[in-house]
Chain A
Amino acid sequence: MQHKGNEMTAIVSCKGITKVFGKGELAVHALRGIDLDIMEGDFATLAGPSGSGKTTLLNMIGALDHPTEGEVTVDGQSLSGLSKSALSDLRLQKVGFIFQAYNLVPVLSARENVEFVLRLAKVSVAERRSRADAALAEVGLQGMETRRPSALSGGQQQRVAIARALVGRPRIVLADEPTANLDSKTTGELVDLMYRLNQDSGITFLMGTHDPRVMAHSKRHIEMEDGQIISDTRS
């Protein structure tokens, strides 16, 4: 099923996305002709059993992988034919990532991890410092700016990852099982946080998840199975 949101702008547009891993008899069709638009301001969840293609689709949208067939457009820019460097720049400028394993740089403090993407984007020292501190305050980590990831709990590390994903002011934040490693209390806090950021700042979220507590907050629920979208509903 495909949602047609003509009243809103599509941040991401997937047209006929197919992804095949392997060749011949060993070929695995991870995605089978996906058509999907993610609209500005969406707080969408991508659900489905393991192997349904959630992560693969998120990787395609996040310019981390190339589709075998079809085209992905992010903020009006087609990803087809872009070089590795151009894809890196696109991720830096337009996409924020939140991973299940946080993927923070262990030798950098919380502030430095958040600043990192701004340094890559060549933002001035003063601006990146204020934006990083603001982002950390936004996710409730004021006072923990100088702590390294090893000195933070899982939930705190994921908050740093959220701050890092948001600080570059991306067009969309992609989260792959963001709460899988967290306890229920922390999960609740983080879902509330992301939902608030979506509501208050209009940041677009697309989250791959199994977690019913995350799905309960979503305004749009996309269900996948066997590499296809089987339902796409808005609440």
Chain B
Amino acid sequence: MLAALAWRNIWRQPVRSILSLIGLAFSSLLLVFMLSFQLGIYDTMKVGALGLLDGYGQFQPVGYDDDPDISRLLPNWQALVEAAELDGINTATPRASSFAIMASGDTSFGAAIIGVDPVTEPKVSTLASTIIEGRYLAKGDEATIVMGEGLVRNLGLTLGDNVTMLGTGNDGAVAADVLELVGIFSTGISGLDRQITQMPLARFQDTFNLGDNINVIALRGGDFSAVLQAAPALAHMAETEGAVYLRWDELQPEVKQMITLDLSTAMLSYGVMIIVVVFILLNTLYMSVLERTREFGGLMAVGMRPTQIGTMVWLELIFLSLLGAGIGIALGAGVTLWVENVGIQFPGMDEVFRQWGISGRVYPDLSLLSAVAGPGVIVISIIILGLIPYRRILGLEPVTAMGAA
């Protein structure tokens, strides 16, 4: 009975109720879209920043993250590659790396040299897709190398030139090789393009006297959440083999920090917006309670308990907020899904985005969390704060209420 009465009461003042609904729906729509958009950017950042080179997770020797020395070898790595074939993990690719002097003629520069498996590496890293000249490493390659465009420019190289590499092997002896430049990549991140080179893993192991050993295994999955869910199992595997497993946020802590900072700032804005919406709606309802005080007195006179009247008004508030939030979620989800298909271009932001591995177009990511979190907070706040008019009604005396203007 109270629910039916509450529902009808909402429509006694249709203009007022519709205005309240529009306000609620619009703020819910904004919250759904903005949160989805924000989470979408974070996902793009994570995929872009980690997908380029690191992968979504890595098996590493103990202490390698702090001191990435070639002599820190990953024990029993073939077993880890096999064991990593869990749900959610698409590919595991072995790597070995060191620092070396790259020389061409009279010019030399220091760079990181990474030995990679040409077949599995492109399934984990998007570096191969940033080749702007030549080709990426291929199966059967031996003395070949791919370099970033910055380093190529600094060394004055052109495609097909030979590069002399001089480093220190695992045994402390000189590791030297002459490699043919077969590809030039451009990631858009100048630091990477000046310092990163890749060569076939087998040749790297020979040159640096690694034998069959490697330093890390980089992993990639269909999506982040799947790899994140597999993290405890992967960590257990690594521990069993005397190694460690690093999650994405341990590989790229600066991305995690950036997301945390941005989210904190955004939460503040969302919080202010929610507070404003909630108080506007509560003010409207409180006014309505004051206007109806005389009517409440009449209801008390015919035997309705103050708790029943209070519940009826509270239900009005709950229905209104649920309806408004529901409409807002539906509209917000619709808008977000549409933008998910077309994306949003931010002219002039390409350079900034590239630093985070984001291409020019950004896409929101609608999820249950982004759809429900914002409107849910509004509804819950309204339900809790709706106890204020409820308490006022409990304090009403029939005679005073009936005498109200």
Beta-carbon contacts of A90-129 to B below 8 Å, as 1s and 0s? 0111000101010101111000000011011100000000
Q: Which residue of B lies closest to A120 (CB)?
A: B303
What residues of chain A lie closer than 8 Å to B306, measured between beta carbons?
Answer: 84-85, 88
Per DSSP, chain B at the interface is helix
Q: Is the CB of A88 within 8 A of B304?
A: yes
Bound CA span A105–B296, Å:
10
- Which of the candidate stretches B1-9, B27-35, B164-172, B217-225 sits at the interface with the other chain? B1-9
B340 on the interface (CB 8 Å rule)?
A: no
Instruction: From known contacts A59-B399, A65-B397, A65-B398, infer whether A97 and B9 are also in contact, taking CB-CB under 8 Å.
Output: no
A89 on the interface (CB 8 Å rule)?
A: yes
Q: Which residue of A lies closest to B401 (CB)?
A: A64
Q: Is the CB of A65 within 8 A of B399?
A: yes
Q: Is the CB of A91 within 8 A of B302?
A: yes
A221 on the interface (CB 8 Å rule)?
A: no
What residues of chain B lie closer than 8 Å to A89, measured between beta carbons?
Answer: 303, 305
A41 on the interface (CB 8 Å rule)?
A: no
Bound CA span A89–B307, Å:
12
Q: Is the CB of A93 within 8 A of B303?
A: yes
Bound CA span A108–B1, Å:
11
Bound CA span A119–B2, Å:
10
From 99 to 132 in chain B, residues with beta carbon under 8 angstroms from any chain A beta carbon are none
Interface centre among A62, A97, A108 (most CB of B within 10 A): A97
Interface centre among B5, B302, B402 (most CB of A within 10 A): B302
A164 on the interface (CB 8 Å rule)?
A: yes
Bound CA span A39–B297, Å:
27
A99 to chain B minimum Cβ distance, whole angstroms, is 7
Number of interface residues of B (CB under 8 A): 22
Instruction: From known contacts A84-B306, A91-B302, infer whether A107 and B397 are also in contact, taking CB-CB under 8 Å.
Output: no
B319 to chain A minimum Cβ distance, whole angstroms, is 14
Q: Is the CB of A91 within 8 A of B303?
A: yes
From 72 to 96 in chain A, residues with beta carbon under 8 angstroms from any chain B beta carbon are 84-85, 88-89, 91-93
From 1 to 31 in chain B, residues with beta carbon under 8 angstroms from any chain A beta carbon are 1, 5, 8-9, 11-12
Q: Is the CB of B9 within 8 A of A103?
A: no
Instruction: From known contacts A64-B399, A119-B1, infer whether A107 and B305 are also in contact, taking CB-CB under 8 Å.
Output: no
B299 on the interface (CB 8 Å rule)?
A: yes
What residues of chain A lie closer than 8 Å to B304, measured between beta carbons?
Answer: 88, 92, 120
A107 to chain B minimum Cβ distance, whole angstroms, is 4
Q: Is the CB of B398 within 8 A of A64?
A: yes
What residues of chain A lie closer than 8 Å to B300, measured between beta carbons?
Answer: 64, 88, 91
Q: Is the CB of A92 within 8 A of B303?
A: yes
What residues of chain B lie closer than 8 Å to A121, measured between beta carbons?
Answer: 303
B146 to chain A minimum Cβ distance, whole angstroms, is 75
Q: Is the CB of B301 within 8 A of A106?
A: no
Q: Is the CB of B399 within 8 A of A107?
A: no
Q: Is the CB of B307 within 8 A of A92?
A: no
Interface centre among B9, B301, B398 (most CB of A within 10 A): B301
B1, B8, B11, B301: the one within 8 Å of A91 (CB): B301
Q: Which residue of A lies closest to B302 (CB)?
A: A117
A-B contact pairs, 28 of them (CB 8 A): A59-B398, A62-B301, A64-B300, A64-B398, A64-B402, A65-B397, A84-B305, A85-B305, A85-B307, A88-B303, A88-B305, A88-B306, A92-B303, A92-B304, A97-B301, A99-B298, A99-B301, A101-B298, A103-B295, A103-B298, A103-B402, A105-B299, A107-B9, A107-B11, A107-B12, A116-B302, A117-B303, A120-B308
